[in-house]
């Protein structure tokens, strides 16, 4: 049986006609090497952002179901165009929506979770010797049969889920950088490309802002034993392979510096110092499907005093979070304030676990740069600091240099960034 490969092309890699033809050529090359090929495509260039702006032009709070109907169109366009280009190269190709491809999700619009991939239709097309193009980022909800989308960057997860369902040897994620780097190469030009990275570190990196792979894609790959190879769509060089536990050779002290400039902070004051207050607050947020990240609460110092809780949410969830919390004013807390322009910088490394003093070094580097730390959280292999959005670039560059993570420059992608 010929080996099956799943290839995923991101937005920049299918941004215009020329690039779609280039992706088509690359898919056909793989087919001509004797593989069976399924390709998962993202929407072209900034299409998803443009669709979101279109929705915001007609509504202050777009209905989530309709938002998903709208957003799912971007990926369908790429797939249909790429199928046409492949046909012109003399190969048979068929494009499928997420729903047609059997990607079944829960009902949570705009950030749906994949529950199952019923891949019969993909299998049947492969049996007929077609190249199959699957629209990324989308599925169909299990009960209501509505179109759903998987959250920003969700085509990575579509690709991994399809690879798992088909038992593919590898899921290749083709993107506009040559792999996973020691920091975002747009901010740190001398960042080093990592030949391999462990699932453990990649999960922390994706969770703390390294958007090169969507967090859920990394989780799904680990849970289903899928090998991810993240690489450039502009050249043939090997990129970064995400390795399972036990496959990794070395454990450097620090592997990467990651960042996010899309955070918002909510502070609740006058929280009763009694059991149940936090449960009510975070219960309401969970109900509204808001992803809460860092949480800080302090026990009131004075007797009978009231507590303060601060936490961060993605900026795009701030409006929904506020709406979910407002009805609890006067009961679960007295007052709510929000800060929209927050960012976060993190350092990640499996070797940190057994080395004291890393946190102290992070804080002194940030202090030297005059960056004020708002909130701190740690895991055994990560230290994250919430800071002002405006300080994020400076903080990333300073930490990357202080921990000596730079490469020699030979690994940077040839192609200019988008």
Residues that bind Mg ion (CB under 5 A): 10, 153
Taking the least distance from each CB to ligand ASP, the nearer of 52 and 352 is: 52
Per-residue mark of binding to ligand ASP, 123-162 (x: CB under 6 A): -------------xx--------------xxxxx------
> Which of 322, 319, 311 is closest to 284 using CA atoms?
322
- The three-state DSSP-derived secondary structure of 288-312 is CCCCCCCEEEECCCCCCCCEEEEEE
**From 11, 64, 98, 102, residue interacting with ligand ADP (rule: CB under 6 A):** 11
Stretch in the footprint of ligand ADP (CB under 6 A) among 161-169, 176-184, 267-275, 375-383: 176-184
**CA 29 to CA 21: how far, in whole Å?**
12
Residue 210 within binding range of ligand ADP, rule CB under 6 A = yes
**CA 13 to CA 230: how far, in whole Å?**
13
Q: Cβ contacts of residue 245 below 8 Å, gap of 6+?
A: 198, 199, 200
Smallest separation, CB 147 to ligand ASP (Å): 14
**CA 413 to CA 393: how far, in whole Å?**
20
Phi-psi category of residue 209: left, alpha or beta, with phi > 0 → left and psi -120 to 50 → alpha: left
Taking the least distance from each CB to ligand ASP, the nearer of 79 and 188 is: 79
Residue 12 within binding range of ligand ADP, rule CB under 6 A = yes
8 Å CB contact between 389 and 342: yes
Residue 42 within binding range of ligand ADP, rule CB under 6 A = yes
State the binding partner of 199 from ligand ADP, Mg ion, ligand ASP, none, CB within 5 to 8 A by kind.
none
DSSP character for 13? G
Residue 48 within binding range of ligand ASP, rule CB under 6 A = yes
State the binding partner of 43 from ligand ADP, ligand ASP, Mg ion, none, CB within 5 to 8 A by kind.
ligand ASP
Smallest separation, CB 157 to ligand ADP (Å): 11
Phi first, then psi: what are they for 335, rounded to 5°? -145, 145
The pairing of strands 131-135 and 36-41 is parallel
Smallest separation, CB 139 to ligand ADP (Å): 18
Per-residue mark of binding to ligand ASP, 156-195 (x: CB under 6 A): x---------------------------------------
**CA 401 to CA 396: how far, in whole Å?**
9
> Which of 233, 251, 259 is closest to 196 using CA atoms?
251
**CA 315 to CA 152: how far, in whole Å?**
13
Count of residues near ligand ADP by CB under 6 A:
20
**CA 280 to CA 328: how far, in whole Å?**
8
Residue 72 within binding range of ligand ASP, rule CB under 6 A = no
**From 45, 64, 74, 185, residue interacting with ligand ASP (rule: CB under 6 A):** 74
Per-residue mark of binding to ligand ADP, 220-259 (x: CB under 6 A): ------------------------------------x---
Smallest separation, CB 325 to ligand ADP (Å): 30
- Interface residues with ligand ASP (CB under 6 A) are 10-11, 42-43, 48, 74, 136-137, 152-156
């Amino acid at each position: 049986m010929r080996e099956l490969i799943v290839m995923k092309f991101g937005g920049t890699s299918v941004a215009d006609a020329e690039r779609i033809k280039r992706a088509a050529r690359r898919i056909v090359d793989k087919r001509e090497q004797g593989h069976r090929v399924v390709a998962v495509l993202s929407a072209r260039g900034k299409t998803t952002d443009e669709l979101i702006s279109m929705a915001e032009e007609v509504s202050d709070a777009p209905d989530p179901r309709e938002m998903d109907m709208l957003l799912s169109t971007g990926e369908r366009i790429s797939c249909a165009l790429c199928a046409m280009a492949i046909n012109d190269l003399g190969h048979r190709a068929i494009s499928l929506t997420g729903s047609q491809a059997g990607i079944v999700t829960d009902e949570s619009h705009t950030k749906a979770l994949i529950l199952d991939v019923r891949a019969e239709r993909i299998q049947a097309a492969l049996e007929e010797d077609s190249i199959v193009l699957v629209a990324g980022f989308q599925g169909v909800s299990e009960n209501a049969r509505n179109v759903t989308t998987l959250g920003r960057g969700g085509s990575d997860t579509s690709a991994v889920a399809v690879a798992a369902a088909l038992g593919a040897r590898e899921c290749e994620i083709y993107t506009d950088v040559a792999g996973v780097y020691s920091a975002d190469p747009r901010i740190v030009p001398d960042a080093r490309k990592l030949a391999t990275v462990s699932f453990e570190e990649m999960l922390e990196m994706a969770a703390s802002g390294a958007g090169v792979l969507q967090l859920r894609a990394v989780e799904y790959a680990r849970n289903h034993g899928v090998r991810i190879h993240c690489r450039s769509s502009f050249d043939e060089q090997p990129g970064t392979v995400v390795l399972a536990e036990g496959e990794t050779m070395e454990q450097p002290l620090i592997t990467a510096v990651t960042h996010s400039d899309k955070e918002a902070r909510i502070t609740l004051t006058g929280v009763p110092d009694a059991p149940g207050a936090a449960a009510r607050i975070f219960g309401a947020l969970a109900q509204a499907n808001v992803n809460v990240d860092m949480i800080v609460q302090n026990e009131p110092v004075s007797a009978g005093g009231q507590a303060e809780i601060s936490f961060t949410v993605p900026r795009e969830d701030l409006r929904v979070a506020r709406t979910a919390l407002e009805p609890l004013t006067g009961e679960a807390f007295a007052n709510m304030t929000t800060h929209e322009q927050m960012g976060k910088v993190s350092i990640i490394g499996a070797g940190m676990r057994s080395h004291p003093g890393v946190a102290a070094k992070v804080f002194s580097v940030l202090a030297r740069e005059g960056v004020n730390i708002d909130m701190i959280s740690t895991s055994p292999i990560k230290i994250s600091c919430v800071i002002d959005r405006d300080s994020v670039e400076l903080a990333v560059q300073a930490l990357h240099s202080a921990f000596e993570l730079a490469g020699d420059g030979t690994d940077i992608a040839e192609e200019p960034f988008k």
